[in-house]
Every structure is written in C-alpha cells, then in structure tokens.
Amino acid sequence: MPTFQYEAVNETGQTQKGAVTARTSEEAIARIRSEKLFPRWVREQKAKRAKGGKAAAGPAGRKKKDFAISFGKVRPKTLTAFTRQLSTLQDAGLPILRSLSILEQQQKPGMLKNILSGVHEDVSGGSTLSEAMAKHPKAFDKLYTKMIAAGEVGGVMDQILERLAEFMEKAQRLKARIISAMIYPTVVISVAVLIVTGIMVFIIPKFEDIFVDFDTELPGLTVMLISTAKWAAGSNEGQAVPGWIFILISPVVIFLCIKLIRKTSGGKMVFDSVALMLPVVGLLVAKTSVAKFTRTLGTLIRAGVPILDAILITRDTAGSAVYQKALTQVHDSVRQGESFADPLRKAKVCDSIVTNMIDVGEETGDLDKMLIKVADNYDEEVDSLVAGLVSLLEPVMIVILGVIVGFIVVSLFLPLVKLMEGVM
C-alpha cells in the first residue's frame, strides 16, 4: 500500500508534516481530516530504487512511450471532452492514475496524448495532479489547475471535475454560437468583395476602351470609377503593385495589426475601450465579458478556491483589459476587507442589476450562486443580441451592396446617356 506525505494545518493554525498509508490520495486526505487536520498538500512518496538504479516494480512502472511531434496548444474542444471523461471516471470511483492511463490510451497521437503521458508519470512519481498539470500550461491554465488543487484539498475531485466540465462546455457553446452567427455575414462580405474586385479588374477596363472611342467628356462618377479600376488592375503609370493584392491581404494585415496592438498593455486597453463604445458590437462585447468573468469567478468560489486567488485567476482569464483593470480594483478592495460590488460600481463596467446581485450574494453568503445566475442571464442576453445582430446585418449588407452595385451601374451608363442626348 503506498505511503502519502502531507503538510497540514491543525485547529490552532500550526503547520504539521507527516505521512499516512492509504490506497488512494482521496483516502489519505480523508484519514488526515479525521485527525482534525486541514491538508495543504498530499503527495505519494516516490518508490525506492532497486539495485542497478531501476525503480522498484509497482503500479506506476511502465515503459516510456514515443512522443508524437505536436505544436501549438490543445484545442479547447478536445480539453473539454477530456475533462468530462475524467469527471465520469472519477465519479465511478476509479483511481486517478488508472483514469489518466485509460484516457491517455484512447487519445489520438498529438499534444494532449503527450501531455497526459507526462502527467501520469509525474503523478505516479509522487506529485499531485494539480502540480503535474501545472507543468503543461499549453493544456491546463491557472483556472484549471487551481480548481483541481481545490478538489484535491477538499477530497471532492469528482465534483470539481464535473463543475469544471460544465463550465468549459458552457463557454464552448457560447463561443460556438457567436462564431456560427458570424459565418454568414463574413462569407457574404468576402464573396461580395471578390466579385466587385473582379469587376474592377476585368470588366471596367473593357468599358474604358469603349468610352475612348466615343471621344466625349466623361462624367465625374465615371472618371472616379475608371481611376479606381486602374488602381485595382495596376495599370496606372508608375504603379508597381496592383491594388487587388492590397484588397486581398488587407484583412490579414488588419488582423496582425490588432494582434500586435493587443500585445502591449496600453494598446490593449485602448482597443478594448474602443470596442466597448461601438454601437451594438460594444454591447455584445460587454455582455460576453460579464458572462465570462462572473461564470469563472462563481465556478472558482464554488470549488473552494480562496476569494483573492479566485479574483486574480478570473482577472488573468478575463480577456478584456477594461474588465481586468476593474477586477484588479475589486481584488484590492476585498484584500482590505471592503465590499466586492463597490469597485465594480465605480468602474462602470457592469449594469446595476449585476452589482446589486453581487451585493446580495455578499450579504447572504451565496456569492457563487449569484455570480452563476448573472452568467446564466447574460448568456441568454448574448444569444438574443447575436440573433438581433445577424438580423440587423442582413439588411445593412443588402443596402451596402446595393449602393456599390448602383454606383458601378450608374457610372457605366452615364456616358451612354450623355452620348444619346448628344445624338438626339
């Protein structure tokens, strides 16, 4: 039976260290708690090495597997599925090492499989699951590892994993709804830009040759259209690069510029502040940010993570610099023993109903429940906003495309009308 070393705090607040024999880490935590101690960490003692420098045979011993080459980060969808599966296995009562082994074996070759192999080896070597996961930030962020640590200390790993899986699934659904809503207008705009660019490059120059044969003065709109077409086709004197290249690469350049601006703290604050001021889009960004940080914070508090640590983790995962600044003020306020809701009111980043619900949650001791309720309400509002935005975008795109096509048609037909008037 394995031996677990631990560090715990007794009823008087003094730190004690010791060792306990148990079949699993959960059983070890239960035994420590039965002695009226509050464990800070519990880890399995490493197996002694046998002669020849090889580790003694045991359940943790296994051959080192080949690692597949992988880049980037673990996809959120893949990590969400893994978390749900691990939650199910823990709820069924399987030891954590057995659960990790099962999930590692069923993973396809890639980054998560490699990471799970490393986590399994670290846990079998005596590390806690949260410590092993913290070594792999490409898969497990601070929020994830802190919740796992809370589950280890409280001996409620199955419940923590279930809450974490639910949190990740809701975040994925919200993100998927927003992305799916943006696909239609993005495709329509992209196709429209390509068609208009093709007209400029291939069709307008042929009309220009016809207008030259008319030997008449062209209207201003027609001259503007022909000049734009020449720029797009790259037929102007001294023009080295055709304009259509700029049109095609401009979305990529804009995207990269935004990424670079957001890399700096000042640029990120300016960009996020401007985004919140935009009509319709700003309201969507604000409600999405509130839903995200309230659900994150509520989930962490419900998992047993200390309030100050929970606020800092929520701040680091908030995404928006405006809300990160507000949460920093909240952290400072709570650390000084003051209210949670007052800094949010002063920052003016949330509606009054949000701050009032948080206020009630503080007074009743149900802050986590109130935060989750706020997140649920805002998720529904985000759904309505996304649907309304898509409904608004359709007529707006039709009007914009109508104006562009109308401009082209009028510009091409004005010289013909002027020629006919001259003939008559």
Residue 103 pLDDT > 50: yes
- Residue 23 tokens, joined: 């079949």
Between CA 247 and CA 238 the distance in angstroms is: 19
In this prediction, residue 140 carries a pLDDT of: 86
In this prediction, residue 52 carries a pLDDT of: 44
In this prediction, residue 64 carries a pLDDT of: 45
Could you tell me which residue, 160 or 59, shows the higher pLDDT?
A: 160
In this prediction, residue 46 carries a pLDDT of: 57
Q: Please, are residues 259 and 337 in contact by the beta-carbon 8 Å criterion?
A: no
In this prediction, residue 51 carries a pLDDT of: 42
User: pTM of the prediction?
Assistant: 0.63
67: pLDDT confidence band, cut at 50, 70 and 90? very low
- Residue 110 backbone zone (phi > 0: left; psi -120 to 50: alpha; other: beta): left
Residue 40 pLDDT > 70: no
- Residue 378 tokens, joined: 């805002």
9: pLDDT confidence band, cut at 50, 70 and 90? low
Could you tell me which residue, 406 or 69, shows the higher pLDDT?
A: 406
In this prediction, residue 405 carries a pLDDT of: 85
Between CA 417 and CA 397 the distance in angstroms is: 29
Could you tell me which residue, 301 or 238, shows the higher pLDDT?
A: 301
Domain ranges of the chain: 3-46, 76-140, 172-424
Lowest-pLDDT range of 50-64, 114-128, 203-217, 378-392: 50-64
422: pLDDT confidence band, cut at 50, 70 and 90? low
In the block, residue with structure tokens 């805002």: 378
In the chain, the percentage of residues whose pLDDT exceeds 90 is: 0
Between CA 269 and CA 276 the distance in angstroms is: 11
66: pLDDT confidence band, cut at 50, 70 and 90? very low
Tell me the average pLDDT across 154-158.
74
In this prediction, residue 201 carries a pLDDT of: 83
Could you tell me which residue, 300 or 39, shows the higher pLDDT?
A: 300
CATH second-level architecture of 172-424? Up-down Bundle (1.20)
188: pLDDT confidence band, cut at 50, 70 and 90? confident
pLDDT in tens, 362-391: 888 888 888 888 888 888 888 788 777 777
In this prediction, residue 246 carries a pLDDT of: 86
353: pLDDT confidence band, cut at 50, 70 and 90? confident
For 57-63, which contacts have Cβ atoms below 8 Å and span 24 or more sequence positions? 59/97, 59/124, 60/97, 60/121, 60/124, 60/125, 61/124
Residue 62 pLDDT > 70: no
Per-residue b or e along 11-49, where b marks 16 or more CB atoms closer than 10 Å to that residue's CB: eeeeeeeeebebebbbbbbebbeeeebebeebbbeebee
The pLDDT mean for the chain works out to 80
| Of 129, 156, 385, 174, the residue nearest 296 (C-alpha) | 174
Between CA 161 and CA 303 the distance in angstroms is: 9
Which amino acid would we find at residue 115?
Answer: I
Residue 283 pLDDT > 80: yes
In this prediction, residue 170 carries a pLDDT of: 80
Cα radius of gyration (the chain): 31
In this prediction, residue 423 carries a pLDDT of: 60
In this prediction, residue 154 carries a pLDDT of: 66
In this prediction, residue 49 carries a pLDDT of: 42
CA within 13 Å, CB half, 246: 10
pLDDT in tens, 203-214: 888 887 777 777
Lowest-pLDDT range of 43-57, 102-116, 174-188, 267-281: 43-57
- β 15-21/38-44 pair status: unpaired
